Chain A
Amino acid sequence: MSVVLFRIDDRLIHGQVVVGWGQATQAGFIVLVDDEVRASDWEQELYRMGVPPSVHVEFASLEEAIELVPAWEADARKGIVLAGDIETMAALCEGAPSIRKVNVGGIHFRAGRTERLRYVYLSDGEAARLKRLSASGVEITAQDVPTVSPVPLDAFA
């Protein structure tokens, strides 16, 4: 198992992921699953900017990602796979059933969402979506940085 983290984070590739998780997991590659960024060379360049040259960065659409998960899991390097929202990660898990664990890393305030943890705000619909995903056998925990303990889904959704 070479993908050490499947993470939902609405800031996509940013400091917490690159510095925090990147260092702690010794990740050799980071994948961002995001249809919009996949379609924009400029945005890809932007998200590459903060990643050290020793870490490979890849961008995939959801459709591509579903095909590529087995290759990422067979990669000799350790990897982090990111999605910016619950729906994308849930669809990825449904398309690629080998994914058994998902980290909720950061879902911030927006109208209709309530605070569940300092870094997790969910609407009732989003909480229900996570519970459905969990019921299908995917272990879901929240954890913003590697130095704290993961919080089980029951405690925040």
Chain B
Amino acid sequence: MSERLRGVVMAHADLGTALVEAVRVIAGDEAGLAPVSNAGCDRAVLAERLEAAVGGGPAVVFTDLAGGSCTTVAATVARGRADVRVVTGVNLAMLLEFAFHRDEAPDAAAERAAAAGRAAVREVPR
């Protein structure tokens, strides 16, 4: 089996921390997720924070807003790493799907998580 994936939730303000905590409440402590906030930093420092959170192994980075600084920085960091993928538009359903499929390769895990996240967005019937 390949090395288990790490997940990083990189988002504005405290959103990443809150999402990681929400996953922990639902899925337990073994979800493999770490939060990164973009609060108070420029792109270079944000890239350093992300690299520290990703570490040396394979990872998927989840960001909150396409075109936000988290996403552009994550894309730049991942561009230099064959084993790091980025998914934007993070939601709780997406992270839960990821938490239970951390044995996959980054490409497959990212694709699976994105599909779960998309499927979770719907209008609730009245």
Partner-B contacts on A (CB < 8 A): 10-15, 18-19, 42-43, 46-51, 106-110, 118-119
Contacts and interface: CB of A to CB of B under 8 A. Distances in A.
B77 to A, nearest CB: 12
Interface stretch (B16-24, B28-36, B60-68, B116-124): B60-68
Interface string B76-95: 10010000000000000000
Contacts of A118: 40
A19 B40 CA distance: 19
A46 B12 contact: no
B72 interface: yes
Most chain B beta-carbon neighbours within 10 Å: one of A13, A15, A109: A15
A49 B67 contact: yes
Contacts of A108: 40-42, 45
Given A15-B67, A15-B69, A46 B75 contact: yes
Among all A-B residue pairs, the 9 with the closest Cβ atoms:
A50-B67, A108-B42, A15-B68, A14-B69, A11-B69, A10-B42, A50-B66, A49-B67, A108-B41
